[in-house]
Copies of this chain bind each other. A is one copy, B any other.
Amino acid sequence: MSNIREVPKLEDVAKAAGVSTATVSRCLNTPDRVLEGTKLKVFDAIEVLGYTPNFGARVMAAKRTLTIGAIIPTMENAIFARGLQAFQEELHDRGYTLLVSSSAYRPDIEEEQIRKLVTRGADGLLLIGEDRDNSIYQYLKRQEVSALIAWTYSADAPLSCVGFDNRKSMQLLTENVMAFGHNRIGVISGFTKGNDRARSRMQGIREALMSNGLDPGELAVIETSYEIECGAKAFDQLMALERPPTAIMCGNDVLAVGALKRARERNINVPGDVSITGFDDIELARIVDPALTTVHVPHREMGRQAACVLVDLLEKNGEPRSIELQTLVQIRGSLGRRKI
């Protein structure tokens, strides 16, 4: 009967304001090319009708969405939260909206999410790490979507990166652990398959051992998923070895917190009986007791810079540009001198 409940469209606004649809569109997109009086009428009509532009139509006609997508491996813990928050803030300042989705560390889901975000018109994409099928990079190139890798810095990555050197950072931490007298080291790593950060960190440990004349083949390594409970289980396994390690280095803080928790449950003193280290320096690292020795990653800085580079990339269609950020070894209570 009446169309009172219908969602109003541009045409309705145009009619109500007594102008053409082109003019209404201009009021919205290039307001300085419209006479003040005209604008007044138009915005009045928009107000009265409660008009909101139809996004699909807009995207199709204008071919941009001012939307950036980010696919992170997990939202379950805080690893990516802080960086992402800064990323979003910077994007917001530049007029973009961030849409986030998570892949649960699964390459197949990540690919699906990438395609969905692209398909949904994301102007740009933030990806974590560089380890993924080459066909995905080809797809992004074809779709002409600007994309950026974060959390990893690598000179020969297939896209611009804003990240840090995982290998070097872990190598440095390992040197520190060895400087505390430890030479029987156990490792609780994230799964290395499909995860270049985990792999680089492992490699960093191995290189540090080698350059100190130790045999990385002796290293007790357990790979597991990044969950507190998994860290706890792996801790048990390492401590059950014939010659348990005197220091356990974990692939990230979440695993380290799990190990620490289990140590407490088992009445194993940290760092008296065994030292434990993490990676990331998330808030959790300073909450546990003893506080975690870890690698500090400048998460907020990384997120901010990533936003800058990505926006430049897609607005100025600029050259790929990468930024390497510096990490910092944070020595805290969970690392102690090896008992003689």
A residues adjacent to B (C-beta < 8 A): 5, 7, 50, 52-60, 65, 67, 75-78, 81-82, 84-85, 88, 97-102, 104, 113, 115-116, 118-121, 139, 142-144, 228, 257, 261, 264, 283-284, 286-289
Contact = CB atoms under 8 A, between A and B. Distances in A.
A65 B119 CA distance: 11
A44 to B, nearest CB: 18
Contacts of A101: 88, 97-100
B97 A100 contact: no
Contacts of A52: 115, 118-119, 143
Contact of A287 (B60, B85, B116, B288): B288
A135 to B, nearest CB: 10
A85 B102 contact: yes
A139 to B, nearest CB: 7
Given A56-B59, A76-B81, A257-B287, 8 more contacts: A5-B142, A55-B59, A56-B121, A75-B85, A76-B85, A97-B120, A99-B100, A120-B120
Contact of A100 (B53, B100, B139): B100
Given A75-B81, A144-B7, A287 B59 contact: no
Nearest to A69: B99
Contacts of A59: 55-56
Given A57-B60, A101-B100, A120-B67, A50 B139 contact: yes
A10 to B, nearest CB: 13
